[in-house]
Structure 1
Amino acid sequence: MFENLLENFKTIDSEKGYWFVRTDKGENFQAFSDFNFIGIGWNYITNRELNDNLNNGLDIKQKIASRERLDLRASADKRKVTSIYNKLIHFKNLRSGDLIIIPNEGSNLLGFGTIADDGIFEDPNDRRCDYIKRRRIIWNKFLTFSELDNIYYAIIKTRHAISNVKPYQSYIDKTVDNIFIKNDAFHYVIDVTKRDDINVNSLLELMNSINNIADVIEQTLNLHDDENDRTVKLNLQSPGKIELIYKNKKILAILSLILLMPLNINSIDNDLNLSNSEKEIIIEISSRCQEDLEVTDRTFDELEALKNRINN
């Protein structure tokens, strides 16, 4: 039962990369966002040179030193050359599916996208952007800085042309997606938009009701769940997020559908191709949990939570 349900939800590869790419103080933000690419400077280093890249990049480093008028015999200059070289190699090695964040001027708007393929392309004739070496991007969303967790202050603080921000992946994942599977666990992120103080009793009621519904799902389907494998991450800075993480992926997948069901069960059914028997079980569980669902509906309203926002 519900064997194919999890195939309908996005799985995030734990090996994917997360990168913050500068836009030359916002100058290239519009071109990047409008025309679905990112780029990097140092045009005198070609894509072919990066792909050949013999002798640990010695030829490339010598070319960088020459063009930037740096002396590889001086330790400070050598570090500068190595820094440029490493940025170019990071850009070359971006993989399809890696997540990219770009800032506009002033970093009050950030774009979130994914690398669309595995190779650099060059466009020396496009004057909308001076960067010739480019990577194709599929943009997921653009968010104002006020909509984001304070952790993004640390992300935008870097001044490098391209920076590895994988240490912040757990924050980035729940910024981009609301429901996903990662590291063999199911994640359901609830956006709380309330700007006033959060009522503790409302929050406790919500968590208790959600746990009760999960218990009924476990008992109905005989899923042998260990409650120690259910965790919650709270980041309620008004607005903020509630992230439910269950090792028993099927329980949380069904729970998310039940929380959504009062909105439009037929829409959920059509989107996820539930069988009639699976749909009947969801309705049965919902009936048994009617009192808890009334609590969740009320507390969602009190928290101004966007429970129906699924990956959008």
Structure 2
Amino acid sequence: MEYSNFEELVDDIKNINSEQNYWMVRTMGGSYFDEFFNGNYIAVGYNAVTLADIKLLPESETTAKEVLKAMFQDRYPNLRNTGYPVAQLLRFSRDIKSGDIIIIPSSGASNVAFGIVDGEMYEEEYPIIDEDHHCNFKKRYHIQWKYNTIRGSLPPTLQLMFNSRHILSDVKNYAPYIDSIMNDCYVKDDILHLVLKIQTQNEVSLDDFCDIKAISTLIEDFCRQNDIPHEDALIMKIQMESPGWLRLSTKNIFKLLAFGLFITALTGGGLRYNTDQGFELYTTGIPGAINDYLDRAADRELINSAARAMDSLKIKSPDDMKPIIEILKAKNEGRRDY
């Protein structure tokens, strides 16, 4: 694999916009979680204040709050404290942007869904109300839901996010954890992140964990042989419960991309390790230099250690590597055809 060919793959890695924001939206105690998720939207109430009303508000936030407060006092005369709903509605309508990340919790936050805002706020004139649909909130955003999981599977730090009881909460402080939940190979602020999901239910031994170092050693050698930059160190952050995850990051995109390709090769795209039968080389998966290197040029004991770590920890092949590998295969096929 020539370095110039390897360099082309960088453009195919998912790039996350560092300007996007992250919001947690409550679902009325979980009552609307299924409706939001199955209907692909989030919504806010106070239907007497319409989208047209909001669009006519002054640009100044202070003035807009005063106008909106007067509107609430007129249309919701029994509402004692209008300050809170005014602030939340204004934030919902003005601060959420297309491309932002949305998190919604179910009842007790036992389930959590992650999605992306797709488009501007709209008004659903006739919400469906029947035995399966109870949400009559008209002001909505369309959401492309990307991930749905149980709260217990999230990193411990992310659990603190659910302490907020606001209708809409800014959770951008948790961005690194949310990014790693929704993606397993991505670039953000010119730094490549690779998230390895550890799926074993067993206790992780120190030996198994330390065997991951063998992968790094193999990559250093592979990069040297193929003139790929490899000087920068890989930074690793760990959520080490079982199951858990490792997040590797570096500005040396080429080195960590090679790491992801090696992981894919070792977990299903190339060399597989079996404690009873030894090593088997599979022809499917990553073509070219990496499989050839693992099969012929690499230190066998290092491969043994690396493959054993993958097997013991049950590390899942990063899903976001699959389109990159398909692009690599297509480029290789194109060169052969040419």
Same fold (TM over 0.5): yes
Is the aligned partner of 1:303 residue 2:313?
yes
SS of 2:113's equivalent in the other structure is strand
Aligned in 2, Cα 1:88/1:268: closer, same or farther, shift over 3 Å?
farther
Q: What one-letter code is carried by the residue in structure 2 that aligns with 1:15?
A: E
Unaligned runs of 5+ in 1: 72-76, 270-278
1:16 aligns with 2:25: no
Instruction: Quickly say closer, same or farther: Cα 1:223–1:191, change in 2 above 3 A.
Output: same
Deviation track 1:58-83 (CA, whole Å, cap 9, x = no partner) reads 21121124444489xxxxx7xx5343
Q: Does the Cα contact within 8 Å between 1:225 and 1:248 map onto a contact in 2? A: yes
Aligned to 1:232: 236
CA distance in 2, matches of 1:116, 1:13: 15
Distance change >3 Å, CA 299–CA 264, structure 1 → 2: closer
The aligned residue for residue 123 of structure 1 is: 124
Please give the residue correspondences for 1:106-185 in structure 2 after superposition, counting only pairs within 5 Å: 106-117=108-119, 119-126=120-127, 127=129, 128=133, 129-185=135-191
Q: Provide the C-alpha distance between the structure 1 equivalents of 2:218 and 2:224, rounded to a whole number of angstroms.
A: 10
How far apart in 1 are the matches of 2:162 and 2:90? 21
1:259 aligns with 2:263: yes
SS at match of 1:20: strand
For residues 20-47 of structure 1, the C-alpha deviation after alignment (integer angstroms, 9 at most, x for no partner) is 0011111111111111111011212211
What is the CA distance between 1:209 and its match in structure 2? 1.1
Alpha-carbon spacing, 1:105–1:267, altered in 2? closer, same or farther (3 Å):
farther
In the aligned structure 2, how far is the partner of 1:45 from the partner of 1:221?
Answer: 63
One-letter amino acid of the structure 2 residue matched with residue 295 of structure 1 = S
Which residue pairs with 1:89 in the alignment? Answer: 90
CA displacement 1:238-257 (0-9 Å, x = unmatched): 22111111211122112211
Among 251, 260, 265, the residue aligned to 1:247: 251
**Alignment match, 1:293:** 303
Greater mean deviation of Cα atoms: 139-148 or 81-90: 81-90
Distance 2:158 2:152 in 1: 10
Q: Does 1:212 align with 2:217?
A: yes
What are the ranges of 5 or more consecutive residues in structure 2 without an aligned counterpart? 271-282, 323-338
Q: Distance in 2 between matches of 1:38 and 1:157?
A: 20
Paired residue type of 2:86: Y
Which TM-score applies when normalising by structure 2?
0.79
Q: Deviations over 1:177-228 (max 9, x none)?
A: 111111211111111123333211211121x212212312431343443334
Closer, same or farther in 2 for the Cα pair 1:311/1:264, shift >3 Å?
A: closer
Paired with 1:132 and 1:108, the residues of 2 have a C-alpha distance of 26
Q: Which range moved further: 93-102 or 107-116?
A: 93-102
DSSP 3-state at the match of 1:163: strand
Q: 2:179 and 2:257 mapped to 1: Cα distance?
A: 17
Any idea what SS the aligned residue of 1:181 has? Answer: strand
Residue pair 2:194, 2:249 contacting (<8 A) in 1 also: yes
Work out the number of aligned pairs and report it: 293
Kindly indicate whether the alpha-carbon contact (under 8 Å) linking 1:213 and 1:255 is maintained by their aligned counterparts in 2: no
Find the partner of 2:50 among 24, 30, 46.
46
Cα deviation for residue 103 of structure 1 reads: 1.2
RMSD of the TM alignment (CA)? Answer: 2.4
**Cα shift at 1:301:** 1.7
Q: What is the CA–CA distance in structure 1 between the aligned matches of 2:175 and 2:9, rounded to whole Å?
A: 25
Measured in 1, the distance between the counterparts of 2:155 and 2:136 equals 32
| Stretch of structure 1 that moved more, 132-141 or 95-104 | 95-104
Q: Distance in 2 between the 1:6 and 1:156 partners?
A: 35
Query: 1:99 Cα shift?
Result: 0.8
Identify if the C-alpha distance between structure 1 residues 307 and 264 changes in structure 2 by more than 3 Å, giving closer, same or farther: closer
Q: What is the percentage of aligned positions where both structures have the same residue?
A: 23
Q: 1:294 to 1:50 in 2, by over 3 A?
A: farther
Any idea what SS the aligned residue of 2:291 has?
helix
Report what 1:63 is aligned to.
71
Q: Secondary structure at the match of 1:142?
A: strand
Task: Give yes or no for the alignment of 1:30 onto 2:34.
Answer: yes
Q: How has the CA–CA distance of structure 1 residues 132 and 33 changed in structure 2, closer, same or farther, with 3 Å as cutoff?
A: same
Contact 2:151 2:159 in 1 (8 A): no
AA of the residue aligned to 2:250: Y
Alpha-carbon distance between aligned partners in 2 of 1:311 and 1:175, rounded to the nearest angstrom? 15
Distance 1:185 1:96, change over 3 A: same
The alpha-carbon distance between structure 1 residues 13 and 290, as it changes in their structure 2 partners (threshold 3 A), is: farther
3-state SS of the aligned residue for 1:130? coil
